[in-house]
Amino acid sequence: MVKRKKILALLLVAAMMGSLIACGGKGKQDDATPDDETVQTSDTNTKGKENGEKTGREIPADVIPKETVTLVVYSQLANYSGEQVGWFGKVMLDKFNVKLNIIPDSEGTFETRMESGNLGDIVIWGDSYDRYLQAVKNDMLFDWEEENLLYEYGAYIAQNCTLALESNRAKSGNGKIYGIGGEVADTRETISDFQYTWDIRWDLYEQLGKPEVKDLNDLFDLLCKMQEICPTDDNGNKTYAVSMFSDWDGDTVNFPADLVKAYYGMESWGFGFYHPVTQEYYDIFDERSHYIEALRFYNRLYQKGLVDPDSLTQGWNGFTEDAQNGTALWNTISWMASGFYNTDTHLSEGKAMFSLVPKDAVVLNWGQTPEGTNRIWSIGAKTEYPELCMAIINWLYTPEGVMTANYGPKDVCWYYENGKTYFTELGKACSKDGDTEMPGDYKGTFNDGLFHMNNKTWSLNSVNPDTGEQYEKSRWASNKQEAQYEIEQRWRDWSGFDSSFDYITSGKYNVVLGVSYTTEPKSDELTVIWNQVAECIRTNSWKAIYASSDQEFDSVINDMETDARKYGYDECLEYQLRQVEIRRAAENAVK
């Protein structure tokens, strides 16, 4: 175990904090890294090293354990349980001599770990800000400025992500830094890649003559016809318009909420939706929120036999099998559709999923946030290895860490040449098909070794300082290429664009302004009420999707509203509207 260092020079720490600069800035903090012996990472950027300066990318030698250590990573974003295996597991073993035991969030996991007094070594938070504050209040997280931890072992973060660090200080409510938000951006000016690309089986759409899809009614008719001409998937099982899962449901059911975001350009938030342009908030029982309308759309598909009946119970693994096998013919989210389905095998067979956005849709896009998101990286207070945890998180924020977590090992899957990024032939194959086998000691397929902590550090739309290009692979000069398959070229000819990003930006979309704000923590009493209301809404929303008739659907919706209000829905809404005012003020301050 690396012993924690006792630093008495608090005035020096304060002075260093005053000299920090914002994310993506040009300045340096000379005293932000330790004088200890360091191990160089394999990053190629040596700017500043010629005069002896440290970049914050170096891994201090004293942090690497002599014997392999297993760290527990409790991640509320993980879809995986157990030891991190495959290529990323080997990267962690080679660089830090650690193994990672991933603990995903499930019902009761957070409460159990809180009661045990130990959340884990590395703790990753979802969007549940209340839980993070509970952990802060109960001293369950390590203070990153204690014993100079951040400035000695997280120097790259300290030098390059100060807005995100100060945002966490403000969110924590006690003047301390316990972590950093994910998806930090280098600017507020750039929009994200579109998550909601409206991917549909393009080969089937072509067979049907490419009819116009103006609205959800047209989409419904199209999906019915598509299932008729393609009744079975790759394995001979029945196809459906959609396959879903419930693992990611929050205060509402995820898939209908995503439909509202994809079609009406509003952001789901609590028990309602926030319009990023008008700054208005509509609760789910307000028809302007369109949540009930989205439930009805899925129910219409269900009544036609076009919703996978296992959606509620199959979980993430069952869903991904459906996506890979072509069981589902449509999904609003790119990586849940084309990301799984568009393998070399399918594309060479003339099968693919590509974007088809209804003409009336206003697609939601998340603006970039230099302060990072509420998906926070933190360190458990009871860890025996705070320096090691900090060094790992710091490395994940370096360019090499970002590239590795997203695209695989350096020089195995990608490399730099003449200041630009290139895929290796293996990297190209892995980018197209996650089932590509990795070589030698990396063991298994690319998908087997995916980064299972499942939280980004920098936004991929931020610029990699080593290349001047965005981290997003579609923005690399080396990765812009001619269509590799005939069906891809036909989609390009139809849309008039080479990418879904350019296609969607030619239409209508709303951008969520990237700002940071601190909401009020819920009281213990409100938390109990909120959880009861959320359970009521989730349960009845699924019942509505599975309703056998319009009359049953209406009855379920009426019961849902009645019961939710009995549980205290109006009290939850009152709290939510106060948070809306906080958010409006933050947005207006940067406009």
Predicted confidence (pLDDT) per residue in 267-282, tens digit:
999 999 999 999 999 9
Q: Which amino acid is at 334?
A: S
pLDDT at residue 33 above 90? no
pLDDT at residue 461 above 60? yes
pLDDT at residue 523 above 50? yes
The encoded tokens of residue 180 equal 């950093």
What is the mean pLDDT of the segment spanning 573-579? 97
pLDDT tens column, 214-225 = 999 999 999 999
What is the mean pLDDT of the segment spanning 463-491? 92
Which range (167-171, 215-219, 401-405, 418-422) has the least confidence?
Answer: 167-171
What is the mean pLDDT of the segment spanning 42-71? 72
What is the mean pLDDT of the segment spanning 330-356? 95
Q: What percent of the chain has pLDDT over 90?
A: 80
Angle between the N-to-C axes of helices 399-407 and 425-432, in degrees from 0 to 180, rounded to the nearest 10: 60
> Which residues, 6 or more positions from 33, have their beta carbon under 8 angstroms from its beta carbon?
54, 56, 58, 151, 152, 155
Whole-angstrom distance, CA of residue 150 vs CA of residue 462: 22
pLDDT at residue 351 above 70? yes
The encoded tokens of residue 68 equal 């392999």
Say what the pLDDT of residue 53 is.
Answer: 58
Say what the pLDDT of residue 107 is.
Answer: 84
Enter the pTM of the model: 0.72
Tell me the average pLDDT of the chain. Answer: 90
The closest alpha carbon to 204, from 362, 359, 361, 346, belongs to 346
pLDDT at residue 425 above 50? yes
Q: Is the dihedral of CA 394, 158, 75, 511 positive or negative?
A: negative
String of DSSP letters for 225-276:
HHHHH--B-TTSPBPBSB---STT--SS-HHHHHHHHHHH--EE-SSEEE-T
pLDDT at residue 23 above 50? no
The closest alpha carbon to 465, from 422, 425, 416, 393, belongs to 416
Which range (21-35, 257-271, 466-480, 563-577) has the least confidence?
Answer: 21-35
The strands making up 267-268's β-sheet, listed across from edge to edge, are 267-268, 272-274, 281-283
What is the mean pLDDT of the segment spanning 1-8? 37
**How sure is the predictor about 481, in pLDDT bands with cuts at 50, 70 and 90?**
confident
> Which residues, 6 or more positions from 179, have their beta carbon under 8 angstroms from its beta carbon?
123, 125, 141, 144, 168, 376, 377, 378, 379
Say what the pLDDT of residue 19 is.
Answer: 35
pLDDT tens column, 240-258 = 999 999 998 999 999 999 9
Say what the pLDDT of residue 446 is.
Answer: 97
pLDDT at residue 467 above 60? yes
pLDDT tens column, 308-322 = 999 999 999 999 999
Q: Which residue has the higher pLDDT, 471 or 590?
A: 471
Say what the pLDDT of residue 152 is.
Answer: 96
pLDDT at residue 31 above 50? no
String of DSSP letters for 418-465:
TTEEEE-HHHHHHHH-TTPBPPGGG-SBTGGG--TT---SB-TTSBPT
Which residues make beta-bridge pairs with 333?
A: 196
The closest alpha carbon to 425, from 444, 440, 438, belongs to 438
pLDDT tens column, 132-168 = 999 999 999 999 999 999 999 999 999 999 999 999 9
pLDDT tens column, 60-113 = 999 999 999 999 999 999 989 999 999 999 999 999 999 999 999 988 999 999
Say what the pLDDT of residue 516 is.
Answer: 76
**How sure is the predictor about 489, in pLDDT bands with cuts at 50, 70 and 90?**
very high
**How sure is the predictor about 12, in pLDDT bands with cuts at 50, 70 and 90?**
very low
pLDDT at residue 27 above 50? no
pLDDT tens column, 183-208 = 999 988 788 889 999 999 999 999 99
What is the mean pLDDT of the segment spanning 119-144? 92
**How sure is the predictor about 494, in pLDDT bands with cuts at 50, 70 and 90?**
very high
